[in-house]
């Protein structure tokens, strides 16, 4: 039987895989992308927001008709303590004007659209096809086995997501450690556009992003999020796996989400809404020190599979890194095709190109941010302190009311101050 | 405490998703690992609530409603679980994601 050979086979039709397929096809390479879902996007989950600004220029033709939900023009942060919360709303004319820096997005819609654009460029996309394993020849990755069929390629790009099964098969990634992962889970709750705009103080078509910290996770490492879509909100939680399993109180993940939805501040926002879908996915949060090895003989790794996502507290990013790394992986494969050399040494150009880019600069810059954030005080003490201070200011007692300064002093607790300054300031300055 | 009520709620929530039948079990506990403490972590962490403790105190696993998120695979490790994605064109198919 004649062997079926492509220039490049891509495992997985998420953002990194589709970005690679689009770029390779545009450059005239024969590329096959294999996706196990019914369509690209069928297995893909986001919390909800894509920072488009950094990647817009790499795919200039796709944005005009892309099924993005709402431009995020309003940034909000909600500090929650058990019985109170403080909402900070940030409006900024710069963020709220075109070209918008970020959009809410639903992956099933966006990825399906992006796949269509890649196909128009000439990429071959086969859905409903699960890759079973990599094929090696003389130590070099030479293709994949999918549904009993062997398909060959000069280069395989692993874009199979956070579980990184194929990078592990090629010994590029170590077994995954719960310390370096979080899980995000969310509901899509449908609301009429006008209702949604009224509740968030938005003009027609505009969008808001709201992050929740503190009691929302019962003080565990993580937070809540709400993104406004066109006709729904994405409402969910992200929790560090270790915190979720080991910190008290031990509450089941789905119960935490129900508890979140029942908070009066949240219940008012989703009242009358209909849940349409419930989704979840793990998120790599190991940062720079726990990225996979990015290349080997005949193989490249991109997107979540490589570990390309960053939790920096109030910004959580990954999708733009996925698209950018897919784009760079494609160019590394194109360069290798020019010389006919698909060895690890030749493909190492991928890592060098990434090293010079915003992506690796971000990863180096944010190297210690996630671990700095992973401190109980940030998720319990400070949100509660903020709540106590506000309570002291606003609550009217049945009796004499203290002035502001003594109220503040009592809330903070003088003995805590040196401790906080010494221990937490160095963490804060790393953010 | 009100775990019964919540899990009913959760079943209804999972019922909103599109699932395509997957005849092959894609997650199984490795022989000899049935009492591994990490399985109890999965009871807490599985967003779909598919791990539960039975009357005998052992962890049971159901696969109906699996969101394929990977949480249990990472928490329990490959030592405890054999974890594969469902076959092509089966399992959850997100319409929003």
pLDDT digits (tens, 9 = 90+) for A164-204: 999 999 999 999 999 999 999 999 999 999 999 999 999 99
CB of A69 within 8 Å of any CB in chain B? no
Q: Say whether both A27 and A129 belong to one domain.
A: yes
Mean pLDDT of chain A: 94
Of all residues in chain B, the one with the smallest CA distance to A44 is: B97
Q: Which residues are within 8 A (CB) of A267 and not within 5 positions of it... i.e. 6 or more apart? A: A261
User: Is residue B78, in this structure, part of any structural domain at all?
Assistant: yes
Residues of A in contact with B86 (CB under 8 A): 36, 130
Give the number of domains in chain A. 3
Element (H, E) at A70: none
Is residue A430 over pLDDT 70? no
Write down the pLDDT at residue B1.
40
Is residue A417 over pLDDT 80? no
Q: Say whether both A165 and A191 belong to one domain.
A: no
Is residue B7 over pLDDT 70? no
Q: Which residues are within 8 A (CB) of A334 and not within 5 positions of it... i.e. 6 or more apart? A: A23, A24, A27, A29
Give the number of domains in chain B. 1
B75-to-A154, A323, B30 alpha-carbon distances in Å:
35, 28, 14
Q: Say whether both A349 and A229 belong to one domain.
A: no
Which of A309, A326, A355 lies at the terminal end of a domain, its last residue? A355
Disruptive mutation site among A174, A282, A290, A319 for chain B (greatest number of B CBs within 10 Å): A282
The tokens describing A413, both together, are 């607790």
pLDDT in tens, A318-341: 999 999 999 999 999 999 999 999
Pairing of strands A206-214, B91-92: unpaired
Nearest by CB to B45, which of A39, A111, A241? A241
- Structural domain including B10 reads 3-88
**Within a 10 A sphere around the Cβ of B30, how many other Cβ atoms?**
14
- What spatial distance separates the first Cα and last Cα of chain B, rounded to whole Å? 31
Q: Say whether both A116 and A57 belong to one domain.
A: yes
pLDDT in tens, B51-65: 999 999 999 999 999
Q: A245 and B41 in contact by Cβ < 8 A?
A: yes
Q: Is the pLDDT higher at A134 or at A414?
A: A134
pLDDT band with cut points at 50, 70 and 90 for residue A375: confident
- Which A-chain residues 249-268 have CB contacts (< 8 A) with chain B? 250-255, 257-258
User: Is residue B94, in this structure, part of any structural domain at all?
Assistant: no
CB of A106 within 8 Å of any CB in chain B? yes
Of the candidates A413, A167, A410, A132, the one whose C-alpha atom is nearest the C-alpha of residue A291 is: A167
Which of A233, A251, A284 lies at the terminal end of a domain, its last residue? A284
Is residue B3 over pLDDT 50? no
- Structural domain including A110 reads 5-66+106-173+292-355
User: Is residue A83, in this structure, part of any structural domain at all?
Assistant: no
Quote the strand ranges of A261-356, DSSP E: 274-284, 295-296, 299-301, 310-311, 316-317
State the ipTM, two decimals: 0.95
Which of A246, A268, A284 lies at the terminal end of a domain, its last residue? A284
Q: What is the CATH number of the domain that holds A13?
A: 3.50.50.60
CB of B11 within 8 Å of any CB in chain A? no
CB of B19 within 8 Å of any CB in chain A? no
Write down the pLDDT at residue A64.
97
Question: How far is it, in rounded angstroms, from Cα A221 to Cα A237?
Answer: 11
Average pLDDT over residues A252-277: 97
Residues of A in contact with B24 (CB under 8 A): none
User: Is residue A11, in this structure, part of any structural domain at all?
Assistant: yes
Q: Say whether both A160 and A188 belong to one domain.
A: no
Q: What is the CATH number of the domain that holds A251?
A: 3.30.9.90
Residues of B in contact with A165 (CB under 8 A): 85
| A188 DSSP β-pair partners | A234, A277
Is residue B48 over pLDDT 80? yes
Q: Say whether both A193 and A143 belong to one domain.
A: no
Q: A181 and B6 in contact by Cβ < 8 A?
A: no
pLDDT in tens, A122-168: 999 999 999 999 999 999 999 999 999 999 999 999 999 999 999 99
For residues B69 and B78, is the Cβ–Cβ distance under 8 A? no
Q: A38 and B89 in contact by Cβ < 8 A?
A: yes
Residues of B in contact with A161 (CB under 8 A): 70
């Amino acid at each position: 039987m004649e062997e079926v050979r492509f220039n490049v086979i891509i495992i997985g039709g998420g953002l990194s895989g589709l970005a690679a397929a689009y770029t390779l096809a545009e450059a005239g390479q024969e590329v096959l992308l294999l996706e196990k879902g019914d369509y690209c996007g069928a297995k893909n989950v986001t919390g909800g927001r894509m920072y488009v600004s950094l990647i817009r220029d790499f795919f200039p033709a796709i944005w005009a008709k892309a099924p993005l939900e709402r431009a995020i023009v309003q940034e909000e942060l909600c500090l929650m303590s058990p019985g109170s919360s403080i909402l900070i709303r940030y409006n900024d004319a710069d963020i709220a004007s075109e070209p918008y820096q970020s959009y809410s997005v639903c992956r099933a819609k966006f990825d399906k659209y992006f796949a269509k654009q890649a196909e128009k460029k000439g990429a071959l996309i086969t859905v409903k096809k699960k890759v079973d394993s990599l094929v090696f020849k003389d130590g070099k990755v030479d293709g994949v086995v999918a549904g009993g069929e062997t398909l060959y390629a000069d280069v395989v790009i692993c874009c199979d997501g956070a579980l990184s099964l194929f990078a592990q098969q090629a010994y590029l990634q170590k077994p995954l450690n719960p310390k370096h992962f979080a899980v995000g889970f969310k509901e899509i709750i449908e609301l009429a556009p006008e209702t949604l705009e009224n509740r968030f103080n938005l003009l027609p078509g505009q969008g808001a992003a709201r992050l929740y910290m503190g009691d929302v996770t019962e003080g565990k490492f993580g937070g809540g999020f709400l993104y406004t879509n066109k006709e729904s909100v994405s409402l969910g939680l992200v929790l560090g796996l270790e915190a979720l399993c080991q910190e008290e109180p031990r509450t089941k993940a789905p119960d935490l989400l129900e508890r979140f939805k029942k908070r009066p501040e949240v219940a008012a926002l989703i009242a009358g809404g209909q849940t349409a879908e419930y989704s979840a996915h793990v998120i790599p949060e190991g940062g720079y020190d726990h990225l996979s090895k990015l290349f080997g003989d005949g193989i490249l790794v991109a997107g979540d599979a490589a570990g390309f996502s960053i939790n920096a507290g109030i910004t959580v990013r990954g999708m733009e890194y996925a698209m950018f790394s897919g784009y760079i992986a494609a160019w590394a494969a194109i360069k290798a095709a020019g010389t006919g050399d698909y060895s690890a040494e030749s493909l190492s150009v991928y890592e060098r190109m990434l090293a010079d880019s915003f992506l690796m600069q971000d990863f180096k810059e944010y190297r210690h941010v996630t671990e700095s954030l992973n401190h109980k005080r940030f998720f319990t003490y400070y949100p509660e302190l903020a709540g106590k201070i506000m309570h002291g200011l606003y609550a009217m007692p049945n009796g004499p009311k203290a002035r502001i300064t003594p109220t503040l002093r009592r809330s903070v607790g003088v003995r805590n101050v040196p401790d906080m300054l010494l221990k937490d300031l160095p963490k804060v300055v790393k953010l | 405490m009100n775990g019964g009520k919540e899990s009913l709620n959760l079943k209804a929530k999972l019922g909103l998703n599109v699932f395509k039948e997957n005849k092959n079990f894609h997650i199984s506990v490795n022989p000899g690992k049935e009492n591994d403490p990490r399985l109890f972590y999965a009871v807490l962490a599985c967003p779909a609530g598919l791990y539960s403790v039975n009357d005998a105190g052992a962890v049971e696993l159901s696969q109906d409603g699996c969101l394929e998120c990977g949480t249990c695979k990472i928490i329990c490790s490959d030592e405890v679980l054999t974890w594969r994605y469902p076959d092509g064109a089966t399992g959850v198919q997100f319409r929003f994601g």
